[in-house]
Chain A
Amino acid sequence: MSDRRLAQTRSAFLPHAVTDAASNPLTNHLLAALPKPEWERWQSQLKVVDLPLGKVLYEPGVTLAHVYFPTTAIVSLLYVMENGASAEIAVVGNEGIVGISLFMGGESTPSRAVVQSAGQGFQMTAEAMKDEFNRSGPVLHLLLRYTQALITQMAQTAVCNRHHTLDQQLCRWLLLSLDRLSGSELLMTQELIANMLGVRREGVTESALKLQNAGLIRYSRCHIKVLDRAGLERRSCECYAVVKKEYDRLLPVQTAT
């Protein structure tokens, strides 16, 4: 089990925890990494919200009203072309925050953020986020480190889209999603995966079948169960490992206290 998932288990099932993982702010690693004064100050600013599949958290060009810290949901940062073709640029789950443009100063971006795997998360208003960013050194540094990890993910996506096969990209994508969930299952239509990868659904069907035949996953309807994670890692391109290594280096998972 990855360190990240182990930490999720620890944080979700602490003896004194009264909430489940979805509504426990400790499930989000950035929130869990806040120093005590910030953590206490933030409690009244964080609101648990449902993040249903397909919900758009921000539209292109529109000033963000909130930032989100997913706990059990996974969010895609997607660029959609004029002709409707889409490409996922990065994925954000319980390791991160959705809405960096609020503290990066842009307030909006040309891409959109869409919930790709339903779940929950914590919402904070734009005003509160900007306020905290400006007032707290630790918050600033934490969020900048997170942003750098996200930049690495985006850069790797650019590279991967140029050089690697759909098979490899599907493995990379499955692994990145799995890292942001507890367990080894994903609920996702092939259509949705195709939109994320920016390819035709038939291509995803074909790749998924190959992975199934190799005993790496079991795929029925929308339900993907990963049977052999190590096998997926071997089959993925190097891009998965590069991104994971950067996230682990910049955002080491805190032992929940």
Chain B
Amino acid sequence: MAGAGVDRDHGGMRSPLPADFADARQNQLLAALPSGQLERWWPAFEPVDLHAGEVLCEAGGIWTSVIFPRTAIVSLTYLARDGATTEFGVVGNEGVVGIAAFMSGQAAPSRAVVQRAGQGLRLNAQVLRDTLQHAGPVLALLLRYTQSLIAQMVQTAACNRHHSIDQQFCRRLLMGLDRSPTCEIHMTHEAMANLLGVRREGVTAAAQRLQGAGAIRYHRGHIEVLDRRHLEQRSCECYAVARKEYERLMPLPLAA
């Protein structure tokens, strides 16, 4: 499916865009931009199809563009020397992937991997940086988003120290739900185990407990959430704290 703004019949040249940029506004940051900014950036946007497992930027790689997910979800992970990975951040349509591009670092030791396939909009990093040269409303928006991402990471650090797999599993499911238009999460036990940085057996056991309680229905890589409230009750406080911070900082609420 062609993304908004790409007209294949014209050999890649962009056709005039829908006046309301509906597709772009599926990303909450883009929807919150000051009036006129989206139009100014539009020629530099490229719709992208992101595939599960695709590495958007390796650790230490330079971010030459940032990505505003629309339906995809991206994991910020650390890949250890022994091959173990741990996710420390999640970015969906509420955010932007590649904050190093505007935090002046341009590269980071983390690795961004597409966790759930979907679409997004890619924006050239230099175009972004040019807009952010001076403090202004666009920079302010992106910095508040970055602070909400920091809040997410703080919780993950604390959570990894103190909380159980059951709690972390619930937390991660809820974070996925918040970034999804449906009640389904496409994730195998293996994938969830990699994100949480635990053994697959632990995830399987936790999933079975939740299924037994009627909170989820799990079938071959699809988790359907049946009882969101149950997940919220079983999660640790970390889910609510990070979400509350996000809602405090950002103008539009997360899905659901």
Of the candidates A135, A144, A155, the one whose C-beta lies within 8 Å of that of B89 is A155
Kindly state whether residue A50 has any CB partner on chain B within 8 Å.
no
| Known A-B contacts A85-B162, A110-B245; A79 and B154 likewise in contact (beta carbons under 8 Å) | yes
User: Smallest Cβ distance from A37 to chain B, in angstroms?
Assistant: 16
In the complex the two chains form, is B157's CB within 8 Å of A154's CB? yes
In the complex the two chains form, is B237's CB within 8 Å of A81's CB? yes
Kindly state whether residue B150 has any CB partner on chain A within 8 Å.
yes
Of the candidates A87, A110, A111, the one whose C-beta lies within 8 Å of that of B161 is A87
Q: Which residues on the A side are within 8 Å of B161 (C-beta)?
A: 87, 161, 197-199
In the complex the two chains form, is B153's CB within 8 Å of A159's CB? no
Kindly state whether residue B97 has any CB partner on chain A within 8 Å.
no
Kindly state whether residue A117 has any CB partner on chain B within 8 Å.
no
In the complex the two chains form, is B156's CB within 8 Å of A158's CB? yes
Cα A199 to Cα B248 with chains together (Å): 31
In the complex the two chains form, is A111's CB within 8 Å of B154's CB? yes
Residues from 61 to 115 in A contacting B, C-beta threshold 8 Å: 77, 79, 81-82, 85, 87, 89, 100-101, 103-106, 109-111
Kindly state whether residue B88 has any CB partner on chain A within 8 Å.
yes
Kindly state whether residue A192 has any CB partner on chain B within 8 Å.
no
Binds B, one of A27-35, A145-153, A227-235: A145-153
In the complex the two chains form, is A101's CB within 8 Å of B147's CB? yes
Kindly state whether residue A240 has any CB partner on chain B within 8 Å.
no
The residue on B at minimum CB distance from A109 is: B151
Kindly state whether residue B108 has any CB partner on chain A within 8 Å.
yes
Kindly state whether residue B65 has any CB partner on chain A within 8 Å.
no
Kindly state whether residue B110 has any CB partner on chain A within 8 Å.
yes
In the complex the two chains form, is A162's CB within 8 Å of B197's CB? yes
Kindly state whether residue A15 has any CB partner on chain B within 8 Å.
no
Of the candidates B76, B140, B157, B245, the one whose C-beta lies within 8 Å of that of A157 is B157
Of the candidates B109, B135, B248, the one whose C-beta lies within 8 Å of that of A242 is B109
| Known A-B contacts A154-B153, A246-B109; A134 and B135 likewise in contact (beta carbons under 8 Å) | yes
User: Smallest Cβ distance from A237 to chain B, in angstroms?
Assistant: 8
Kindly state whether residue A163 has any CB partner on chain B within 8 Å.
yes
How many residues on A have C-beta within 8 angstroms of the other chain's C-beta atoms?
47
| Known A-B contacts A155-B89, A159-B86; A148 and B160 likewise in contact (beta carbons under 8 Å) | no
In the complex the two chains form, is A158's CB within 8 Å of B140's CB? no
Cα A140 to Cα B129 with chains together (Å): 13
Kindly state whether residue A210 has any CB partner on chain B within 8 Å.
no
| Known A-B contacts A145-B104, A148-B103; A104 and B153 likewise in contact (beta carbons under 8 Å) | no
In the complex the two chains form, is A154's CB within 8 Å of B237's CB? no
Kindly state whether residue B100 has any CB partner on chain A within 8 Å.
yes
Cα A154 to Cα B147 with chains together (Å): 12
Q: Which residues on the B side are within 8 Å of A238 (C-beta)?
A: 80-81
Of the candidates A103, A148, A159, A199, the one whose C-beta lies within 8 Å of that of B105 is A148
In the complex the two chains form, is A161's CB within 8 Å of B249's CB? no
Kindly state whether residue B27 has any CB partner on chain A within 8 Å.
no
| Known A-B contacts A85-B162, A198-B158; A148 and B104 likewise in contact (beta carbons under 8 Å) | yes
The residue on A at minimum CB distance from B244 is: A110
Kindly state whether residue B213 has any CB partner on chain A within 8 Å.
no
User: Smallest Cβ distance from B197 to chain A, in angstroms?
Assistant: 4
Q: Which residues on the B side are within 8 Å of A125 (C-beta)?
A: none
Cα A159 to Cα B109 with chains together (Å): 12
The residue on B at minimum CB distance from A242 is: B109
In the complex the two chains form, is A147's CB within 8 Å of B103's CB? yes
Cα A109 to Cα B149 with chains together (Å): 12
Q: Which residues on the B side are within 8 Å of A111 (C-beta)?
A: 154
Q: Which residues on the B side are within 8 Å of A158 (C-beta)?
A: 86, 88, 153, 156-157, 160
| Known A-B contacts A159-B88, A159-B197; A147 and B108 likewise in contact (beta carbons under 8 Å) | no
Residues from 217 to 233 in B contacting A, C-beta threshold 8 Å: none
In the complex the two chains form, is A156's CB within 8 Å of B78's CB? yes
Kindly state whether residue B155 has any CB partner on chain A within 8 Å.
yes
Cα A159 to Cα B140 with chains together (Å): 29
User: Smallest Cβ distance from A150 to chain B, in angstroms?
Assistant: 8
User: Smallest Cβ distance from A4 to chain B, in angstroms?
Assistant: 19
In the complex the two chains form, is B135's CB within 8 Å of A163's CB? no
Mind listing 10 A-B residue pairs with CB under 8 Å?
Answer: A89-B153, A105-B144, A110-B241, A147-B103, A151-B108, A151-B153, A162-B198, A163-B80, A199-B161, A249-B105
Q: Which residues of B contact A (CB under 8 A)?
A: 76, 78, 80-81, 84, 86, 88-89, 99-100, 102-105, 108-110, 133-135, 139-140, 143-144, 146-147, 149-151, 153-158, 160-162, 196-198, 237, 241, 244-245, 248-249
Please provide the 7 A-B residue pairs with the shortest distance between their CB atoms, ordered closest to farther: A158-B157, A161-B160, A148-B103, A162-B197, A104-B147, A87-B158, A105-B144
